[in-house]
């Protein structure tokens, strides 16, 4: 294992019935970096992501975090290790308020019961939840039911809830989906700030190349279940195999500049 690797994904394969959805990719994520996992639909990104977050168990290979093998960790204990994630398909409590959704996120790393968090949150916890809502631009909507937010703002709410566990590693599944250009620019600034100021490491699956090329320190590219390239945004933007497999021939400029 690379001594600087914070998260180490090694030779992971996943077989569903007779279908090999993921075929042996390896990559390492360094602490304090933003690492993107990209590729066309069906490339195996989400399956790999789900192995890291313990929604799937790899058929073979290993995933380790801070030197600890995650395949031996139950999914509900991931938060206690400092790993939080968001979902491509939202997992919010639609009937609860925006603030209550974030308060529930604090439960994973605290001693408060769910009932107390909703009925009588202590001042420190509530202030922290409001602080997170301010960071994602939702403080003004804190009393609205989560269902009343549009899809893009629900994605931002899910991000705030993930941050509520004070993660070391943040796993983001298509965080820019449904966001307007201005919101993508705000997300860009926020993710860079989370790394620089809060010391959070980020691994994201994303299709919005503007965001990927702007924020990523390193990019891993998958196609047909395999890793086909890895490098800096500049290296990926000029990689002929990536351009053909993911971005399409003739999009070299778009690859490099999003």
Can you tell me which residue has the tokens 């009937």? 95
Average pLDDT of span 175-187: 92
CA Rg value for the chain: 18
Distance CA 212, CA 175 (A): 11
**Whole-number pLDDT of residue 248:** 59
62, β-bridge pairs: 10
Question: Rounded mean pLDDT of the chain?
Answer: 88
* Lowest-confidence segment of 76-90, 139-153, 214-228, 237-251 by average pLDDT: 237-251
Q: At what angle do helices 151-163 and 123-136 cross, to 10 degrees?
A: 140
Q: 132 or 243, which is more confident? A: 132
**Which among 99, 92, 84, 174 is positioned nearest to 133, based on CA atoms?**
99
Pull the structure tokens for residue 245: 């497999």
- pTM of the model as a whole: 0.89
Instruction: Categorize the per-residue pLDDT at 112 as very low, low, confident or very high, splitting at 50, 70 and 90.
Output: low
Q: What is the CA angle 73-79-81, rounded to 5? A: 60
Q: What is the pLDDT of residues 128-166, one digit of tens each?
A: 999 999 999 999 999 999 999 999 999 999 999 999 999
Average pLDDT of span 44-63: 94
Domains present along the chain, CATH in parentheses: 1-81+171-180+201-258 (3.40.50.300), 83-166 (3.40.50.300)
Other CB atoms closer than 10 Å to residue 152's CB: what's the count? 17
**DSSP secondary structure string for all residues of 21-60:** EEE---EEEETT-EEEEE-STTSSHHHHHHHHTTSS--SE
Q: What is the pLDDT of residues 187-216, one digit of tens each?
A: 999 999 999 999 999 999 999 999 999 999
Question: Phi and psi of 191, rounded to 5°?
Answer: -65, -40
Q: 174 or 256, which is more confident? A: 174
Using a pLDDT cut of 90, give the percent of the chain over it.
Answer: 71
Pull the structure tokens for residue 37: 């996992």
**Which among 158, 161, 159, 220 is positioned nearest to 191, based on CA atoms?**
159
Torsion, CA 82, CA 49, CA 159, CA 120, rounded to 10: -50
Torsion, CA 155, CA 156, CA 160, CA 161, rounded to 10: -20
Q: 105 or 144, which is more confident? A: 144
Q: Which sign, positive or negative, has the C-alpha torsion 155, 38, 213, 232?
A: positive
Average pLDDT of span 105-112: 65
Instruction: Categorize the per-residue pLDDT at 254 as very low, low, confident or very high, splitting at 50, 70 and 90.
Output: very low
Q: Which residues are CB-neighbours of 233 under 8 A, at least 6 positions away?
A: 212, 213, 214, 216, 219, 256
| Burial degree of 89 (CB within 10 A; 0-12, 13-18, 19+) | exposed
Pull the structure tokens for residue 236: 């990926």
Instruction: Categorize the per-residue pLDDT at 257 as very low, low, confident or very high, splitting at 50, 70 and 90.
Output: very low
Give SS3 for 226: strand
Q: What is the pLDDT of residues 13-23, one digit of tens each?
A: 999 988 999 99
Average pLDDT of span 178-188: 93
**Whole-number pLDDT of residue 87:** 85
- 135's enclosing H/E stretch is helix 123-136
Using a pLDDT cut of 70, give the percent of the chain over it.
Answer: 88
Instruction: Categorize the per-residue pLDDT at 178 as very low, low, confident or very high, splitting at 50, 70 and 90.
Output: confident
Average pLDDT of span 114-132: 77
Other CB atoms closer than 10 Å to residue 226's CB: what's the count? 16
Pull the structure tokens for residue 64: 């380790």
């Amino acid at each position: 294992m690379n001594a600087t690797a914070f998260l180490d994904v090694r030779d992971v394969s996943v077989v569903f019935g007779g279908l090999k959805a993921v075929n042996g990719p390896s990559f390492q994520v360094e602490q304090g970096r933003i690492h993107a996992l990209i590729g066309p639909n069906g490339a195996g990104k989400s399956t790999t992501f789900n192995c890291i977050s313990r929604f799937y168990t790899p058929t073979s290979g290993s995933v380790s975090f801070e030197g600890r093998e995650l395949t031996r960790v139950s999914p509900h204990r991931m938060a206690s290790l400092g790993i939080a994630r968001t979902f491509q398909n939202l997992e919010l409590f639609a009937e609860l308020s925006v603030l209550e959704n974030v308060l529930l996120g604090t439960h994973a790393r605290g001693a408060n019961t769910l009932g107390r968090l909703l009925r009588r949150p202590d001042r420190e916890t509530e202030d922290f939840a409001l602080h997170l809502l301010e960071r994602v631009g939702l403080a003004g909507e804190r009393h609205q039911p989560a269902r009343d937010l549009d899809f893009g703002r629900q994605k931002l709410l899910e991000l705030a809830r993930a941050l509520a566990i004070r993660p070391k590693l943040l796993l983001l599944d298509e965080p820019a989906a449904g966001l307007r250009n201005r919101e993508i620019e705000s997300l860009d600034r926020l993710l860079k700030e989370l790394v620089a100021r809060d010391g959070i490491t980020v691994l994201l699956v994303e299709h919005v190349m503007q965001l990927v090329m702007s924020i990523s320190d390193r990019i891993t590219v998958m196609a047909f279940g395999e890793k086909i390239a890895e490098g800096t945004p500049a290296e990926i933007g000029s990689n002929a195999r990536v351009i053909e497999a993911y971005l399409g021939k003739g999009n070299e400029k778009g690859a490099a500049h999003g």
